Structure 1
Amino acid sequence: MNEHTKASAGGCPFSGRGATFSALYHEGLWDELAEARQEEPVFFSQSDDYWIVTRYDDVMSILHDHEHFSAENTSDSATPMHADALKIMKDGGFTAEKVQSNCDGERHQRIRDVSSKVLNLRAFAALEPKIREFVNEALDRLEGRDTAELLSEVTYELPARVIFQLLGIPEEDMEQVKAWSGTRTTMNFSPSTYDQQIAGAKDMVDYWQYCVNHVKERIDNPRDDLASKLLEIRGGDDNVITLNELITVFYGVAFAGHETTTTQMTNALRALLTYRDQWEAICADPKLIPQAVEEAFRYCGAVIGWRRRAIQPVEIGGVMLQPGEPVIMSFGSANRDEAQFPDPHTFDVTRKNARKHVTMGNGKHVCLGAPLARLEVKILLEEITRRFPGLRLIEDAPVSHVKTFVFNASESLHVRLR
């Protein structure tokens, strides 16, 4: 950390809150962030090597300030990649680019415009019958049982089955693609060891080559799927989108299109079952479910932290940042900011402004798949409350979380079905 950064905080950034704070999900995180919002809303975290921004208005300001902040570090490896891992990826032909959530300016807008012609409300709405079919197939497997682990048995595969409909990925490849996605989560959003990076680099090469081969096959044999439609829009014109950019879009959607939704479904169910009166409310009145979906995005959003980098001197929350300094926007904290959400630590399916959450971003970089995620969680809640209204948490079941500063992702959800 340079002297300029130290001066920007009015002293050594390692003192006070930032000396002990970690943005990795952990027990007590919400209490720590609540204190920070009141006492030190922007602070430097020594363990994370990022400035942490906690208040809603400051987070929104950064999301909409493309003059002073860049999105290019959004998906950078949480631990700098070792040269050996980088060599594996280079030698393996890994040429993924920064194309959507992690790029800026004209390039971002050009590629987003192309992607949105395929990934849009009309395309997502057309999936509703298939989503409902997939949900009920998963719930059918629970009938006649007393207990279940809903993450592994329901929410893990559902979003993948849905997005793979759009992508044209065969269901027999689902387990492998999900495994590669888990590796990417570790590489990009969690601290990693040398051994994890070497293994991860090999996985990323395999994942990338899978996507390359899929797109190349669609060049010769187009179908009704994402790659084929993007290729048609491209029309061989690199000014529209290059082939490598197109493959990168496919590679990104094959990851982002299901991982966060798996987590959001799991979190929504846990919150509703923890606040039993809220579960009973949506069972009694299914019209509350869309609002419950938004409250779940706010209260227990899958994405709790997102990155930016200052590209010009800029003041945020009373702290002067200099070019190059990295920021974690704490979406989880912003979504519980008392200035925006009264009684923010309570889960309330009747909350009027729950949709103001920032879990899916905001502004130019707002998640293209947000409407699909909303639809999937809504349908799951509609069907599971209809079929299993007596669903309850197994209260003494252990709950562990993935150690990442980006996702609030538990690793199990044990329930009694009746």
Structure 2
Amino acid sequence: MVSAAAALETLNPFDPSLLSDPWDYYRRVRERAPVYREPNTGIFLISSFSAVSTVLRDWERFSNRFARAMGGLGQPPPEVMEVAKHGYPPVDTMLTADPPEQKRFRKLVNKAFSAKRVDTLEAHVEEIARQLVERIEGRGRAELLSEFAQPLPLTLIAEQLGAPREDLALFRKWTDGFVAQLSGVASLPAQVEAARLIVEFQHYFAARIEERRKQPHDDIISDIVHAQVEGEHSLDVTEMLSILQQLLVAGNETTASAIVEGVWLLIQHPAQLARVQRTPALIPNLVEEVLRLATPTANMWRLCTQDSEIEGTKIPAGSMCMVRFAAANRDPAQFPDPEGFDVERANAAEHLAFGMGIHHCLGAALARKEMNVAFRTLLGRLDGFALDAAAPAPRHKPSILLWGFDSLPITYSRRSS
């Protein structure tokens, strides 16, 4: 546990214990300066709502091509590099690209994640959620993350990618590998295992790509393999794999985390839970408030490409910046009583959980749909939610970029009709 009295300058923002409970640190940094140069690393922490919004709107000064620049923060250990060499090299595509390349990549998959397309999936999402709840509702207890929150979005994204349901366990393992890699605090054995899983993912999908070249299906892989945008060359395998990797992680991990966070928040605030149960029309706003208060993509990197100044702080060209969505979403200048959980908050949807500007989350409409269906199904079928006192207390996984529980064991009863 990090001491609340410790001076900011003495704290390591990447300390796992701080990452597992970062809220006091976020607040103190934001109050010290909306743009704060962390003295031990030289990284600029962007924490206020207004400063984060400025950075997100200005991709020319604050580039998403941060992956290669991060080499200055430390190369992977030799043991990890030895495993990774058996796979495909990383390349910049959607999340780690800027226009015009970024627009070309996004155009390949925009249709699959459009609001119009997502609306056609609602009945199917409801059916998956119903099946998952029916498996657990008679038991009175469940581990909500692995038994409901993960399988729901994972099934959807696997179907979008044209994978059979029997491969869902593989998709979960691969997601865990990518999440460990993104955490920035994994042990060496965990890093090596993550590299092995990523290589396994790459070879699996490289084979699927070759299959779709010969025999296209109605899925995203076929769209990517056979697409040519505005007369440009087709994507190569490394670019396709990069896109598929981003779709897999963004398409299930963050949504699962948000669903679990929402149930945990409702358990912690029984009056808010009762309010939503009485008035299910509040569920869409519940979704927005959960995304604001428990932002699953807590932070993201940007590379400053030219000397800049934001809210009185100078940022030299070449500086690495950490854009703190989670801190911005608790900024009192934007959200009154920002630490409070209010399912009727008037401006909850103004959050930055999905980013802003050209890099606004591609899957935002699908994530919102899945969360709405998840809460409608859980609150419509179950009642009496509580943490399972017989199970270990849930903990947040330490991660530089993501925010989520390692599990959520709960008890409940069937809701009377």
Q: TM-score, normalised by structure 2?
A: 0.90
Shift of 1:193: 3.9
Shift of 1:111: 1.1
Match of 1:407 in 2: 402
- Tell me if structure 1 keeps the 8 A contact 2:298–2:324: yes
Match of 1:8 in 2: none
Structure 2 counterpart of 1:172, from 166, 184, 208: 166
Shift of 1:98: 1.0
Per the alignment, do residues 235 and 354 of structure 1 end up closer, same or farther by CA in structure 2, a change over 3 Å counting? closer
- Tell me if structure 2 keeps the 8 A contact 1:283–1:389: no
Structure 2 counterpart of 1:313, from 307, 313, 317: 307
Alignment partner of 1:124: what SS? Answer: helix
d(CA) in 1 for partners of 2:27, 2:84: 41
Q: Please list the CA deviations of residues 158-194 of structure 1 after superposition, one character each: whole Å capped at 9, or x if unmatched.
A: 1100111111111111111211111111112322344
Match of 2:76 in 1: 81
d(CA) in 1 for partners of 2:286, 2:41: 33
Structure 2 counterpart of 1:228, from 222, 225, 230: 222
Q: Please list the CA deviations of residues 130-170 of structure 1 after superposition, one character each: whole Å capped at 9, or x if unmatched.
A: 11111111110122222222112111211100111111111
Match of 1:19 in 2: 10
| 1:156 counterpart = 2:156 | no
Per the alignment, do residues 28 and 88 of structure 1 end up closer, same or farther by CA in structure 2, a change over 3 Å counting? closer
Shift of 1:226: 0.7
d(CA) in 1 for partners of 2:261, 2:67: 23
Shift of 1:230: 2.6
Which amino acid is 2:177 matched to?
Answer: T
Which amino acid is 1:213 matched to?
Answer: A
d(CA) in 1 for partners of 2:67, 2:229: 30
Match of 1:29 in 2: 22
Shift of 1:246: 2.7
d(CA) in 1 for partners of 2:176, 2:25: 28
d(CA) in 2 for partners of 1:248, 1:313: 30
Shift of 1:240: 5.5
Which amino acid is 2:375 matched to?
Answer: L
Shift of 1:258: 0.6
Match of 2:344 in 1: 350
Match of 1:61 in 2: 54
Which amino acid is 2:244 matched to?
Answer: F
Per the alignment, do residues 371 and 236 of structure 1 end up closer, same or farther by CA in structure 2, a change over 3 Å counting? closer
- Tell me if structure 1 keeps the 8 A contact 2:45–2:322: yes
Consecutive unaligned residues in structure 2, runs of 5 or more? 1-5
Q: Please list the CA deviations of residues 271-326 of structure 1 after superposition, one character each: whole Å capped at 9, or x if unmatched.
A: 12211111111111111000000000001111111111111111123221112211
- Tell me if structure 1 keeps the 8 A contact 2:62–2:305: yes
Which amino acid is 1:409 matched to?
Answer: G
Shift of 1:53: 1.4
d(CA) in 2 for partners of 1:276, 1:224: 44
Alignment partner of 1:118: what SS? Answer: helix
Match of 1:97 in 2: 91
Per the alignment, do residues 412 and 212 of structure 1 end up closer, same or farther by CA in structure 2, a change over 3 Å counting? same
| 1:199 counterpart = 2:193 | yes
Q: TM-score, normalised by structure 1?
A: 0.90
Per the alignment, do residues 214 and 296 of structure 1 end up closer, same or farther by CA in structure 2, a change over 3 Å counting? same
Per the alignment, do residues 146 and 115 of structure 1 end up closer, same or farther by CA in structure 2, a change over 3 Å counting? closer
Match of 1:3 in 2: none
Alignment partner of 2:227: what SS? Answer: helix
1:366-385 correspondence runs (5 A): 366-385=360-379
| 1:210 counterpart = 2:204 | yes
Which amino acid is 2:46 matched to?
Answer: V
Which amino acid is 1:337 matched to?
Answer: D
Q: Please list the CA deviations of residues 95-146 of structure 1 after superposition, one character each: whole Å capped at 9, or x if unmatched.
A: 3421001111211111112221333222222221111111111110122222
Per the alignment, do residues 71 and 18 of structure 1 end up closer, same or farther by CA in structure 2, a change over 3 Å counting? farther
d(CA) in 2 for partners of 1:375, 1:262: 12
| 1:259 counterpart = 2:253 | yes
> Identity of counterpart residues, as a percentage?
26
Match of 1:11 in 2: none
- Tell me if structure 2 keeps the 8 A contact 1:79–1:192: no
| 1:122 counterpart = 2:113 | no
Which amino acid is 1:370 matched to?
Answer: A
| 1:44 counterpart = 2:55 | no
| 1:111 counterpart = 2:105 | yes
Q: Please list the CA deviations of residues 391-412 of structure 1 after superposition, one character each: whole Å capped at 9, or x if unmatched.
A: 2234685121211021111111
Shift of 1:358: 0.8
- Tell me if structure 2 keeps the 8 A contact 1:118–1:229: no
Match of 1:10 in 2: none
d(CA) in 1 for partners of 2:186, 2:41: 13
Match of 1:139 in 2: 133
Match of 1:364 in 2: 358
Of stretches 320-329 and 394-403 in structure 1, the one that deviates more from structure 2 is: 394-403
Alignment partner of 1:389: what SS? Answer: strand
Per the alignment, do residues 39 and 83 of structure 1 end up closer, same or farther by CA in structure 2, a change over 3 Å counting? same
d(CA) in 2 for partners of 1:39, 1:245: 41
Alignment partner of 1:187: what SS? Answer: helix
Which amino acid is 1:331 matched to?
Answer: F
Per the alignment, do residues 395 and 107 of structure 1 end up closer, same or farther by CA in structure 2, a change over 3 Å counting? same
Q: Please list the CA deviations of residues 204-254 of structure 1 after superposition, one character each: whole Å capped at 9, or x if unmatched.
A: 211111111111111112111111123343389653644542332123212
Match of 2:411 in 1: 416
Query: Aligned pair count?
Result: 403
- Tell me if structure 1 keeps the 8 A contact 2:88–2:238: no
Of stretches 105-114 and 67-76 in structure 1, the one that deviates more from structure 2 is: 67-76
